[in-house]
Amino acid sequence: MNICLFSADEIARGVIEARDERARHILKILHKTQGDSFSAGVVGGQAGTAFISAVVDGEIHFSFTGESDGKPLFPLDLVIGFPRPIQLKRLLRDAAGLGARSVHLTATELGEKSYLESNIVKDGGAQRMLLDGTAQAASTHVPALFVHNSLDECLSVLAEKSDSLKIALDNVGAEKSLIALFPAIQSAASVTAAIGSERGWSENERRILESAGYARCSMGTRVLRTETAATTAMSLILGAMGFLG
């Protein structure tokens, strides 16, 4: 945790309760006490410094001074075939850490249907992973998260991003490599990257993607986990766009 994130209401209240994980981190890991300061930020807002005015029975009283608008998210939207929950947690943390603008989780024809019914989104676990990745990156801006019942539905929502370069990762029958698309990526205003679920895309989904303007490309012949493929693709795309230099 390289920054402690708070809601606007928490910042206004200026108190972290003793049982809060952030209080334990500040006191036990950072070894902060009255008179000290720590990096803090408002979720979706300013980053700055929090000053500890008192520590009473493990409860931290603080004031916050905003110093910047925080690190902006990058113009990269992800379409992800819903993976198994344990993979999804790592994927979301990395997506937030790398600064993707949004993550669209979608059911796919070959994906495990039960994953979409998992509680990870409903119980807030997915959002916690995004916050965790954002805090790791010392950022305040959290990627938007969406869930769709089909690839058709997902692409319809994203269709309004007409200026976006559309890429679909596929290690079956793709004629180009992702690296071969670097010149187009470098000049793109934004990129939408689609990564299939564990069993990849169906032939019908390949037709849907191509009809929607997605260029199918590969990252070699090795079959990667969804989380590995997503993190690797994000790194390559953001690097080509000049955001990781």
The structure tokens 């990257």 sit at 193
Q: What is the pLDDT of residues 26-68, one digit of tens each?
A: 999 999 999 999 999 999 999 999 999 999 999 999 999 999 9
Using 50, 70 and 90 to split pLDDT, how confident is the model at 113? confident
Output the CA torsion sign for 212, 150, 241, 198: negative
Using 50, 70 and 90 to split pLDDT, how confident is the model at 182? very high
Q: If you write DSSP's letter for every residue of 45-95 in order, what string do you get?
A: S-EEEEEEEEEETTEEEEEEEEEE--PPPEEEEEEEE---HHHHHHHHHHH
Q: What is the pLDDT of residues 214-239, one digit of tens each?
A: 999 999 888 899 999 999 999 999 99
Question: In the beta sheet, which residues pair with residue 11?
Answer: none
pLDDT value of position 171: 86
pLDDT value of position 175: 83
DSSP code of residue 181: G
What's the mean per-residue pLDDT of the chain? 94
Say if CB 139 and CB 71 are below 8 A apart. Answer: yes
Q: What is the pLDDT of residues 200-213, one digit of tens each?
A: 999 999 999 999 99
CA proximity to 120, closest of 157, 79, 82, 153: 82
- The average pLDDT across 55-82 equals 96
Output the CA torsion sign for 231, 223, 85, 17: negative
pLDDT value of position 173: 85
Q: Residue 5 corresponds to which amino acid?
A: L
How many residues does the structure list for the chain?
245
Output the CA torsion sign for 196, 228, 148, 113: positive
